[in-house]
Amino acid sequence: MLDWFKNIVGGDKNSAAPEMAAADDKGAELAGLNFKTAVDAHMKWKVRLESYINGTSTEQLKVEVVCRDDQCPLGKWIYDMGGEKFGYSETFFDMKAHHALFHRSAGDVLAAAQSGDAAGARKLLHGGDYVKASERVKMLLARMFVIASEGKEAIDSHIKWKGRLQAYIKGDSKEDLRIDAVSRDDQCTLGHWLNGIGGERFGQMPAFAVVRSRHAQFHRCAGEVLAVAQQGQKEKALHMLEDGAYPDASVQVAEAIVTLFEKQKAAA
C-alpha cells in the first residue's frame, strides 16, 4: 500500500487505475481517514460529472454544494481531524488549497452543464483548473500518506532495536549485524526518515536537531552493545540493554521525537 502511494507521488498515472480498486486498503487508514478510499472517491468525480453532462446520472447534484470544499468526506476530514493532525504541514496546506480549487472548478463544470452548455462543461472537465487541481489533490494526498506512514514506521523501527539486539545476542536471530553499520545513525529506517522526509519537514526546528543528536548517541550505544556481544560477553551485553547508556539513549530518542511533534503542533 505504501508503494502504491509512493508511485502516485512519483508520477505513476497507473497508480489509480481501476484494477487497483480491489487492493487491500486496510493499511491506508491514518488519522481518521482511509487515504486510498479518499483518492479513489476523488478520482471518481470525473466519472460522476461526465455522467451528469451526458444525462445518464441519477444524482441530484447542486452547484452550491459541489463548489464547496467542506461537504465531501475528504473536505470534512480536512476541516476536522486532518487539520488537527497535519495542520502544521506545508503539504496539508497545499492539499487544502488545491482541494478547494478543485471543488470550485467542479462547480463551474456543473454550472455549465445545468445551463445547457454540454460542450463547454466537457471542455472545463478535460482541461484547465479542474484537471490541474484534480491531479494535485491526488498527488498531495499520496504525499501526506507517505509522510505520515514513514514517520510512524521510523519510530516503530527504533522501538524494535532492543528486540533485534536481544535476539542477536541470544543466538535467536538470523541477522548479520555489523558494528560499523549499527553504530551509524544514517542506516536505519529512522535515520533515513531524519535525512529524508523528516528533515525536509522539520529540519529548521531546534527540536529536530535534538532528535538527530540523541539518535546518533543511541546508535553509538547500540554499537557498543553489539561489540561486547561479538567479543563473547553475552551476559554483559544483555545487561547493557537493560541498564546504563543504551536504555537511557533509547528513552531520550523517544522523548525527543515526542517533543518535536508537540512543538510543531504548538507552532501551527
Cβ-count burial of 59 within 10 angstroms (0-12 exposed, 13-18 middle, 19+ buried)? exposed
Q: Are 238 and 169 in contact (CB under 8 A)?
A: yes
Cell numbers at 14, concatenated? 497507473
- Does residue 191 share a domain with residue 230? yes
- Does residue 169 share a domain with residue 130? no
194: domain CATH number is 1.20.120.30
User: Is residue 235 pLDDT above 60, yes or no?
Assistant: yes
What pLDDT is attached to residue 20? Answer: 42
34 in a domain, yes or no?
yes
155 in a domain, yes or no?
no
User: Is residue 3 pLDDT above 60, yes or no?
Assistant: yes
Q: Over the stretch 34-53, which tens digit does the pLDDT of each residue have?
A: 888 888 888 899 999 999 99
- Does residue 174 share a domain with residue 77? no
| CA–CA separation, 70 and 65 (whole Å) | 9
Least confident among 59-68, 187-196, 209-218, 233-242 = 187-196
Q: Over the stretch 91-148, which tens digit does the pLDDT of each residue have?
A: 888 899 999 999 999 999 999 999 999 999 999 999 889 999 998 898 888 877 876 7
- Does residue 131 share a domain with residue 164? no
Q: Over the stretch 11-22, which tens digit does the pLDDT of each residue have?
A: 655 544 434 444
What pLDDT is attached to residue 43? Answer: 87
Provide the 3-class DSSP secondary structure of residue 175.
coil
- Does residue 94 share a domain with residue 43? yes
What pLDDT is attached to residue 23? Answer: 47
What pLDDT is attached to residue 25? Answer: 61
- Does residue 178 share a domain with residue 233? yes
User: Residue 30: beta bridge partners?
Assistant: 33
Provide the 3-class DSSP secondary structure of residue 242.
helix
Q: Over the stretch 24-36, which tens digit does the pLDDT of each residue have?
A: 566 677 678 888 8
pLDDT band at 55 (very low <50, low <70, confident <90, very high): very high
pLDDT band at 262 (very low <50, low <70, confident <90, very high): confident
- Does residue 210 share a domain with residue 116? no
Q: Over the stretch 57-82, which tens digit does the pLDDT of each residue have?
A: 999 999 999 999 999 989 999 999 88
- Does residue 177 share a domain with residue 138? no
- Does residue 190 share a domain with residue 102? no
- Does residue 138 share a domain with residue 18? yes
- Does residue 180 share a domain with residue 140? no
| 195 against 239, higher pLDDT | 239
Average pLDDT, the chain: 86
Q: How many domains does the chain have?
A: 2
Q: Over the stretch 155-169, which tens digit does the pLDDT of each residue have?
A: 777 888 999 999 999
What pLDDT is attached to residue 4? Answer: 65
| 195 against 179, higher pLDDT | 179
One-letter amino acid of 72: C
154 in a domain, yes or no?
no
Percentage above 90 pLDDT, the chain: 53
What pLDDT is attached to residue 35? Answer: 85
231 in a domain, yes or no?
yes
95 in a domain, yes or no?
yes
User: Is residue 88 pLDDT above 50, yes or no?
Assistant: yes
153 in a domain, yes or no?
no
Domain termination site, one of 116, 148, 180: 148
Q: Are 211 and 256 in contact (CB under 8 A)?
A: yes
| CA–CA separation, 147 and 89 (whole Å) | 10
24: domain CATH number is 1.20.120
- Does residue 185 share a domain with residue 62? no
What pLDDT is attached to residue 2? Answer: 59
The residue assigned the cell 504525499 is 143
Which domain, by its residues, includes 138?
2-148
